[in-house]
Structure 1
């Protein structure tokens, strides 16, 4: 097999939207050229030229004046549609995947198949923050395990509401935000130290993405280079939950209680 095997056929099909439209139409049912002309909004000359290209590649055959997709043509069609789906998925999840890969999060590829994504566009930069806040508030009564590279007022308020509703929270924060947490959010820090249902740990390693888990929900947050939350994935997939639990346990193993860190300071 050479490097060019299959490339010419793929390039031919991708070279014009009308080509895949015709193959798609024939995949649904055999059609005559005149029917295809109306179905894909193309001239008869264009349709005939494309059908000739398909016949040359053995993707279709002509039988009783109608064109039928061959088994190989069916496979080409289905594979191309899968490719289009993957490209569309890549466009939607691209920023999320790139930001997490940049920091070595190694999120399973299954995350792109099994979750809802909230992206913070430039016109609504707080979209991810708002969604995380909403989900945290809904965690009242649950056991919440969370990791965060930043301290944000909205997160503190949502966590307080969840605690008031009976949640138990175990949080691992980045070592570089401890001072900010104490200086800017003194009441939240005091509550974290005094509340038996809230336990805060300080990671010995840098944290560059966020996650939290409760019940069967896993949320993974990607941050940009300025440490702003940009994308949050919500998933109930077991593989994503296991990955998040493993990441949380790994960070927790190398973390120290906030009370110990503050005493040392």
Structure 2
């Protein structure tokens, strides 16, 4: 009897095998239907179906074939593995910058996420993506270790004009950095004065930067030196739930900016 790894190899070495098993796990198919769906020749399908029947992964019902219970099990496992590997390949270039210890959701939920990385021609592409999202967002909630000038400007303008509401939790270092610059301090004061904005300060460090922009979650990824490396945004339901809970937790553990020791004068 072949080992489990040998069985996996048997499937993985043929895209047609994987696809035929997936199709038969969904519903019965005739050989002609399988040929049309996969593009495989009748000879190839004959070998595949014979191999599957030898393993009791499929059975024949008249002119059609369908997966057995164990065939469905294998098909589900192969599909899961493929999705995992496809997601891993997409995240491979940014995995070192993910706040993995803080991400309470299955990474497979990022399978369809948009990943934006800097390039030679667009070095600020991740930040540009955020600003693009902010321009069309009515509700912004965030927790972050940084609050850059561009984001502050857009948020201040949209809250002042009543186009958006804003709730933010920031590390003390992020607020101090703004307060140390006269122009940025004025912008921050204006934002704090807006009825549509609320800001809180966290004394401890903030290990991540996550925004909830209406139904979109935006993650800003930096390396250990604070260099912007990528951003990820998604409207996945599970990721949204995680983002909302994370922001709520940080919000409850922070103090309002007006009551903090940061002077906005």
Q: TM-score, normalised by structure 2?
A: 0.72
Q: Which digits, 9 at most, give the CA deviation of each residue in 1:201-237, with x for residues without a partner?
A: 33211123222346x5352414131431612334373
Query: Given that residues 107 and 243 in structure 1 are in contact (C-alpha distance below 8 angstroms), is that contact kept between their aligned partners in structure 2?
Result: no
Q: Which digits, 9 at most, give the CA deviation of each residue in 1:83-133, with x for residues without a partner?
A: 32333334335566663344x213323x75389633223434433312322
Show the counterpart of 2:55: 57
Separation in structure 2 between the aligned mates of residue 18 and residue 100 of structure 1, nearest angstrom = 35
Query: Given that residues 87 and 110 in structure 2 are in contact (C-alpha distance below 8 angstroms), is that contact kept between their aligned partners in structure 1?
Result: no
Please tell me whether residue 170 in structure 1 is matched to residue 167 in structure 2: yes
| Stretches of structure 2 lacking an aligned partner (at least 5 in a row) | none
- Secondary structure of the 2:142 match is strand
Separation in structure 2 between the aligned mates of residue 98 and residue 251 of structure 1, nearest angstrom = 27
Deviation at 1:155, TM superposition (A): 0.4
Show the counterpart of 1:40: 39
Please tell me whether residue 193 in structure 1 is matched to residue 189 in structure 2: yes
Q: Aligned-pair RMSD on alpha carbons?
A: 3.8
Structure 1 residues 160 and 112: alpha-carbon distance in aligned structure 2, compared to 1, 3 A threshold: farther
- Secondary structure of the 2:113 match is strand
The number of residue pairs the alignment matches comes to 250
Separation in structure 2 between the aligned mates of residue 96 and residue 158 of structure 1, nearest angstrom = 27
| Stretches of structure 1 lacking an aligned partner (at least 5 in a row) | none
Note the 1:1-265 alignment, pairs <5 A.
6-24=4-22, 29-31=29-31, 36=35, 39-41=38-40, 44=43, 46-61=44-59, 68-71=65-68, 72-93=70-91, 99-102=97-100, 104-109=101-106, 112-113=108-109, 117-123=113-119, 124-140=122-138, 142=139, 144-166=140-162, 167-184=164-181, 186-194=182-190, 195-197=192-194, 198-213=197-212, 216-217=214-215, 219-225=217-223, 226-227=225-226, 228=228, 230-235=230-235, 237=237, 239-252=241-254, 257=258, 260-262=261-263
Range with bigger deviation, 205-214 or 232-241: 232-241
Separation in structure 1 between the aligned mates of residue 244 and residue 131 of structure 2, nearest angstrom = 23
Deviation at 1:159, TM superposition (A): 0.9
Q: TM-score, normalised by structure 1?
A: 0.72
Separation in structure 1 between the aligned mates of residue 37 and residue 193 of structure 2, nearest angstrom = 70
Query: Given that residues 116 and 233 in structure 1 are in contact (C-alpha distance below 8 angstroms), is that contact kept between their aligned partners in structure 2?
Result: no
Deviation at 1:12, TM superposition (A): 1.9
Deviation at 1:41, TM superposition (A): 3.9
Structure 1 residues 38 and 235: alpha-carbon distance in aligned structure 2, compared to 1, 3 A threshold: closer
Separation in structure 2 between the aligned mates of residue 85 and residue 114 of structure 1, nearest angstrom = 10
Query: Given that residues 171 and 204 in structure 2 are in contact (C-alpha distance below 8 angstroms), is that contact kept between their aligned partners in structure 1?
Result: yes
Query: Given that residues 139 and 162 in structure 1 are in contact (C-alpha distance below 8 angstroms), is that contact kept between their aligned partners in structure 2?
Result: no
- Secondary structure of the 2:231 match is strand
